[in-house]
Structure 1
Amino acid sequence: MEAGVTVLLTVMVGLFGLTSAVLGFIAEAQSLTPSDIHVSGSECVYPANPAHALGVCAILLLAVAQITASAAGGCCGCCRPGGGASKSTRRVVGVIVAMLSWIMAMIAVLYYWKGVEWNAPGTHPAAIAGGNEECVYFKDGGFTRAAILSIVATSLAIKSCFLLRAPASTPEALEGADEPKADGQHPPEAGVAVGLPQWPAPGNGHAPYSHPAQG
């Protein structure tokens, strides 16, 4: 049951993260170019375009993916009980991977937000360069970098889910199976049949049966 829940959560994280990346690639293709921006007096006029909405949706989906992964991993391992030595090592690695995932996601969000800001419809003051008025625009490749970082962050988030939700298989748990019971009896070894005799043994109140001698 636990394995099924883990798979379902990681599928959800992957779906949200990959959708965010796909929207980022589409936003790159729809991003404003210098030919789309018009100069009116001393201001640059930025027309409406799909890249603005796509960038916002990409940010939201990436945030949902990261939050889902953190919740699945028990708040990066802080809300789940610890275990033995191997469990603790796996938990530390899972927390590190989760932190790297969040770092990659935050950098991706910065790229997304910058693209959203410069693709929003509105006006901005024109910059004067060499006596000419120029308009600032989001450079090519910004949304693409954000999309690639989204994929990296999602992959790390999925890895952290598996590390933090994996069942413990510590040596202590294995040794506990061979410990003697409370009454001092040891569990039967493998390959040894345990049971009661089907026929009464001699000396328990019944004389062995024998045929009378024939003359």
Structure 2
Amino acid sequence: MHLTKMENKVLGFCAIAAVLGVISAATGFAGEATRVKASEVFIYDDSCVYPSSPALALGIVSAVFTIITRIYTSVSFGGAGCCRTDPNSTPISKLLFVLSWVASVIAVVLLLTAAGLNNRQGGEVDAYGYMTCYVVKPGIFAAGAILALLSAVLGIAAYITLAPPSQTNTYPAAAIPMGTANVDPEKNPGPFPPQQYPPQQYPPQQ
């Protein structure tokens, strides 16, 4: 079964967007798994000692791939203003495209915030005299990863729901004049000119 050029274009877009979305989500979940936890921090000489963690780098990579996915989706749609200029846009594709934008923006904010908080070191003494060390709250990396994947899925759905381009008729139908009863066949023979018959021969009259 041979695929058309339009179908190949859709499949190519879906494959690239899906790979970018999976990378964004995978690195985001990896950041959640490797973030510094409260049980891993210990206090030494009234200071918080933190273990090394790749969560900062993973969060930044996830945010970068989310931005790349957003740029790729927008370019495929014809730019950020595609919902206003693309003649193939439908109300559903416009809505999905906007939701994809919102999800990607929130995902980037959450991922960068989690990465920054994970790298924050220090603590404070509470009212009871206990030292409390700063750690990123659980779930922020995971929420950013889910929204990054959701942004890619919504972008793919928006692209699929675009209306197919209108096909131009290469062979226009021939116009046949109606009501040819009052048309002179010698001046306007029309699409089907009358057949010509040879004059009949009559015997000479006696």
Output the CA distance in 2 between the equivalents of 1:94 and 1:130.
56
Give structure 2 stretches of 5+ with no counterpart.
178-191, 201-206
Task: Determine the structure 1 residue equivalent to 2:51.
Answer: 47
Aligned-partner Cα distance in 2 for 1:30–1:206: 103
Q: Deviations over 1:45-65 (max 9, x none)?
A: 433211111111111111111
Query: In the TM superposition, what are the counterparts of 1:116-155 in structure 2 within 5 Å?
Result: 116-120=115-119, 123-155=121-153
Matches within 5 A, 1:1-215: 1-76=5-80, 77-78=82-83, 80-82=85-87, 87=88, 90=90, 92-120=91-119, 123-164=121-162, 166-169=163-166, 181=174, 184-185=175-176, 204-205=197-198
Cα distance between partner residues in 2 of 1:65 and 1:185: 54
In the comparison of the two structures, how many residue pairs are matched?
Answer: 179
State the distance in 2 between where 1:150 and 1:7 align.
Answer: 20
Identity %: 25
2:21–2:69 Cα contact (<8 Å) kept? yes
CA distances 1:101-135 after superposition (whole Å, capped 9, x unpaired): 11111211222112201222x63343534221101
The one-letter code matched in structure 2 to 1:123 is: Q
In the aligned structure 2, how far is the partner of 1:163 from the partner of 1:125?
A: 51
Secondary structure of the structure 1 residue equivalent to 2:121: strand
In structure 2, relative to structure 1, the CA distance for the partners of 1:5 and 1:135 (3 Å cut) is same
CA distance in 2, matches of 1:127, 1:111: 27
Range 42-51 or range 57-66, more displaced: 42-51
- Kindly state the Cα deviation for residue 177 of structure 1 after the two structures are TM-superposed: 8.2
Q: Distance in 1 between matches of 2:14 and 2:84?
A: 18
In the TM superposition, residue 23 of structure 1 has moved relative to its aligned partner by 1.3
Does the C-alpha gap of structure 1 residues 12 and 158 become closer, same or farther in structure 2, counting only changes over 3 Å? same
Q: With structure 1 as the length reference, what TM-score do the two structures score? A: 0.70
RMSD: 3.1
Secondary structure of the residue aligned to 1:123 is: coil
Contact 2:32 2:55 in 1 (8 A): yes
